[in-house]
Chains A and B, each alone.
Chain A
Amino acid sequence: MSTKVRRVYGYLAEFKNASQLYKAAEKVRDAGFKKWDCYSPYPIHGLDDAMGIKRSILPYFVFIGGVTGFLTAITLAYTTQVGLYPTIVQGKPANIFTTAAFFPVMFELTILFSGFTVLFGLLALMGLPRWNHPIFASKQFSRVTDDKFFIAIEARDAKFSAEATKSLLDEIGGDNIELVEDDSE
């Protein structure tokens, strides 16, 4: 007999179709849960509203990333082309009015830094990459990439309780309600 104590990840409930999932999500949201998620084989329009997800803070990071890129380009162009080694072509001035020649650089670096911030900011906010997720312990969960819809409410949530959460999922139409235990010790 194994004496290992497993950590409870939370409850997993299956739903038959997208509209059931959508309606159930609204009820879970209204019950005040914060640490929970919906899983579906394809994107569902308006599900983020039904789940009550707030806007991501990623755009602010991207804005700062873009501004950083823009300022980097200005600094780079100015110090090299005005300060350190002015290149005079066709009698064009080597001062701040040469800016026009470096617009493509400013544009590219703004885009590049924004792009990097999008990619790495997104990965950081999602907590990726990671080796495993506790929810993969559930056998039925593999069908989420096929034809099943799931809601998982995590045990970390302040409102979580062993009985009440289970009966809530039952009430809102969840089938095959399963207590998922983390097996990645």
Chain B
Amino acid sequence: MAHQVTSKDIPSNGEHLEKSKIAKIQFLSGIIGGVGLLASIIYLLVGSGSAHGSYAFSWLFAVFFILTLALGGCFWTFLHNLSNSGWGTSVRRMMENLGFVFPFLFIFCIPFLFPGVQQYLWEWMTSYDAAVKAHPEMSAKDALFHSSNTHDHLLAAKVFYLNPGFWLARFFTYFIGLGFFIWLVRKFSIAQDTDNNPGTDNLFAARKHSSWSMIVFGVTLTFLALDLVMALDFSWFSTMFGVYIFAGSALNSMAVLILTGIFLQRAGYLKNVVTQEHYHIMGKLCFAFTVFWAYVSFSQFFLIWYANITEETRYFLLRNTENWNLVSLSLVFMHFALPFLALLRSDVKKNQKFMIGLCCYILFMHVVDVYHMIIPERGPSVGLVVDHVPQLWLGGSWVGDILALVIAVSGFLFFYLRNLTSAALYPHRDPRILESANLHN
């Protein structure tokens, strides 16, 4: 047994990440993220054509990837408070910091507000506008019913939800709503750090407010996924899509948390409060969500495959055509089977070197997963036709995908590091910090 951690081992002012230690990397990620964002906005604003449409998809893919990581951070924060957990008090601040990246990511979503971007990503908006313009005297629903394009009839049935005004209102509500709640819960936690009479008030307040917040989180994640990704093909629907995105978010934000913990410890922080027991638990959660992701994503596929209803099968037909089939198959074996077998043993979860490799791998597979959700729609939407054959793959578009991913991940890193330096690295005055430091499972 390791030495028992007592209050003497916890610095009274807490541990703070030295800004000079990460200044270089934060500066670099800020520059890449900031300049890249500006350049992307300008590029997406000025022109149109298949290259611009293609980049709009790249941008959605990259931004949705970082959104899921931040959303997962919100989930773990609320869950930790709500379940009255003691084990993770020493890693809770990392969860809060990861979740609090979410409101900042709004600036990466600004391009989605441009009509020039929307026309490529969400065709229902184009159809809606065209129908309303053609029949200004009718309601939008009737106008869509009178449209010559028969597909618009499907949209007419969904117009109560898929209309531009409501879409815009939802879009802002997501960031304001969940952004406020994660800010509030994190604020209670930080207030505890400087409280001269640290009691349980802040802890209980955080627990109380996590209850609303969990509902807000669930609604936000589900409908954000619906509005940004499922609406890429408005004729398609899946009732499991929200939980599918949630499974990926929870898994990958936990991978980010493990990586953060390991790197902070290597830099000389969290030495007294985070032990291999914490990595063991976080590894177990990663394992659980690897299985959960597989369970949900397979169920979604299975129900659609079995029922074989025309509107529902579109999604998988597209993703099993030509080489996209390889990506679909790779998800089965490399997103599920491989991490499942790798995480099965308990000692590997305590092996930090192994977990660094595995977490990076899991995150990479999440990139593939998000790619597989979004990019197959690009060929049909942007509509490149060669010799009367619509193309599923636009040559050279991968450059934009990688570029957008680098920009988005840099921006994500910048805000994450900003959050890490803005408060103590762990809640050192939390009543349960010693319980967490002496964790044994």
Whether A100 lies near B1 (C-beta < 8 A) is: no
Q: Convert A28-55 into 0s and 1s, putting 1 for each residue whose CB lies closer than 8 angstroms to a CB of B.
A: 0000000000000000011001100000
Do A46 and B440 contact each other (CB < 8 Å), given the known contacts A63-B344, A100-B301, A103-B298?
yes
Looking at the complex, which of B143-151, B227-235, B266-274, B302-310 is the stretch in contact with chain A? B302-310
Does A101 interact with chain B (Cβ within 8 Å)? yes
Provide the bound-state CA to CA distance between A90 and B301, in Å. Answer: 16
Q: Give, as a whole number of angstroms, the nearest-CB distance from A25 to chain B.
A: 12
User: What's the A-B contact tally at a CB cutoff of 8 Å?
Assistant: 16
Across-interface contacts of B298 in A (CB, < 8 A): 103
The residue of chain B having its C-beta at the shortest distance from the C-beta of A91 within the complex is: B308
How many residues of B are in contact with the other chain, CB < 8 A? 10
Provide the bound-state CA to CA distance between A100 and B316, in Å. Answer: 13
Residues of A at the B interface (CB closer than 8 Å) are 45-46, 49-50, 59, 63, 90, 92, 100-101, 103-104
Across-interface contacts of A45 in B (CB, < 8 A): 440
Across-interface contacts of A100 in B (CB, < 8 A): 301-302, 305
Provide the bound-state CA to CA distance between A81 and B306, in Å. Answer: 16
Across-interface contacts of B440 in A (CB, < 8 A): 45-46
Q: Give, as a whole number of angstroms, the nearest-CB distance from A182 to chain B.
A: 35
Q: Convert B289-312 into 0s and 1s, putting 1 for each residue whose CB lies closer than 8 angstroms to a CB of A.
A: 000000000100110011010000
Across-interface contacts of A101 in B (CB, < 8 A): 306
Do A103 and B302 contact each other (CB < 8 Å), given the known contacts A46-B440, A63-B344?
yes
Q: Give, as a whole number of angstroms, the nearest-CB distance from B324 to chain A.
A: 16
Apart from A100-B302, A101-B306, 9 more pairs, CB < 8 Å: A45-B440, A46-B1, A46-B440, A50-B1, A59-B345, A90-B308, A92-B308, A100-B305, A103-B302
Residues of B at the A interface (CB closer than 8 Å) are 1, 298, 301-302, 305-306, 308, 344-345, 440
Provide the bound-state CA to CA distance between A104 and B306, in Å. Answer: 12
Q: Give, as a whole number of angstroms, the nearest-CB distance from A147 to chain B.
A: 24
Provide the bound-state CA to CA distance between A76 and B317, in Å. Answer: 28
Q: Give, as a whole number of angstroms, the nearest-CB distance from B67 to chain A.
A: 30
The residue of chain A having its C-beta at the shortest distance from the C-beta of B295 within the complex is: A107
Q: Give, as a whole number of angstroms, the nearest-CB distance from B349 to chain A.
A: 13
Provide the bound-state CA to CA distance between A104 and B298, in Å. Answer: 10
Provide the bound-state CA to CA distance between A101 and B306, in Å. Answer: 8
Across-interface contacts of B305 in A (CB, < 8 A): 100
Which of these, B1, B306, B345, contacts A49 with CB under 8 Å? Answer: B1
Q: Give, as a whole number of angstroms, the nearest-CB distance from A95 to chain B.
A: 15
Q: Give, as a whole number of angstroms, the nearest-CB distance from B286 to chain A.
A: 18
The residue of chain A having its C-beta at the shortest distance from the C-beta of B441 within the complex is: A45
Provide the bound-state CA to CA distance between A101 and B308, in Å. Answer: 13
12 A-B pairs whose Cβ atoms sit less than 8 Å apart in the complex: A46-B440, A49-B1, A50-B1, A59-B345, A63-B344, A90-B308, A92-B308, A100-B302, A100-B305, A101-B306, A103-B298, A104-B302
Across-interface contacts of B301 in A (CB, < 8 A): 100
Q: Give, as a whole number of angstroms, the nearest-CB distance from A73 to chain B.
A: 15
Across-interface contacts of A104 in B (CB, < 8 A): 302
Across-interface contacts of B306 in A (CB, < 8 A): 101
Provide the bound-state CA to CA distance between A103 and B337, in Å. Answer: 14
Q: Give, as a whole number of angstroms, the nearest-CB distance from A103 to chain B.
A: 6
The residue of chain A having its C-beta at the shortest distance from the C-beta of B341 within the complex is: A63
Provide the bound-state CA to CA distance between A70 and B188, in Å. Answer: 48
Provide the bound-state CA to CA distance between A59 and B348, in Å. Answer: 14
Q: Give, as a whole number of angstroms, the nearest-CB distance from A87 to chain B.
A: 13
Provide the bound-state CA to CA distance between A92 and B344, in Å. Answer: 34
The residue of chain B having its C-beta at the shortest distance from the C-beta of A26 within the complex is: B1
Across-interface contacts of B302 in A (CB, < 8 A): 100, 103-104
Q: Give, as a whole number of angstroms, the nearest-CB distance from A121 to chain B.
A: 16
- Which A-B residue pairs are the 7 nearest by beta carbons? A90-B308, A46-B440, A45-B440, A100-B305, A49-B1, A100-B302, A46-B1
Q: Give, as a whole number of angstroms, the nearest-CB distance from A8 to chain B.
A: 33
Across-interface contacts of A46 in B (CB, < 8 A): 1, 440
Provide the bound-state CA to CA distance between A90 and B309, in Å. Answer: 11
Across-interface contacts of A103 in B (CB, < 8 A): 298, 302
Across-interface contacts of B308 in A (CB, < 8 A): 90, 92
Q: Give, as a whole number of angstroms, the nearest-CB distance from A81 to chain B.
A: 14
The residue of chain B having its C-beta at the shortest distance from the C-beta of A50 within the complex is: B1
Q: Give, as a whole number of angstroms, the nearest-CB distance from B240 to chain A.
A: 15
Across-interface contacts of A63 in B (CB, < 8 A): 344
Across-interface contacts of A90 in B (CB, < 8 A): 308
Provide the bound-state CA to CA distance between A93 and B344, in Å. Answer: 34
Provide the bound-state CA to CA distance between A103 and B344, in Å. Answer: 20
Provide the bound-state CA to CA distance between A50 and B345, in Å. Answer: 22
The residue of chain B having its C-beta at the shortest distance from the C-beta of A45 within the complex is: B440
Provide the bound-state CA to CA distance between A50 and B440, in Å. Answer: 13
Q: Give, as a whole number of angstroms, the nearest-CB distance from A111 to chain B.
A: 11
The residue of chain B having its C-beta at the shortest distance from the C-beta of A104 within the complex is: B302
Q: Give, as a whole number of angstroms, the nearest-CB distance from B211 to chain A.
A: 30
Provide the bound-state CA to CA distance between A46 and B1, in Å. Answer: 8
Q: Give, as a whole number of angstroms, the nearest-CB distance from A57 to chain B.
A: 13
Q: Give, as a whole number of angstroms, the nearest-CB distance from B100 to chain A.
A: 34
Q: Give, as a whole number of angstroms, the nearest-CB distance from A32 to chain B.
A: 19
Provide the bound-state CA to CA distance between A49 and B301, in Å. Answer: 45
Q: Give, as a whole number of angstroms, the nearest-CB distance from B378 to chain A.
A: 26
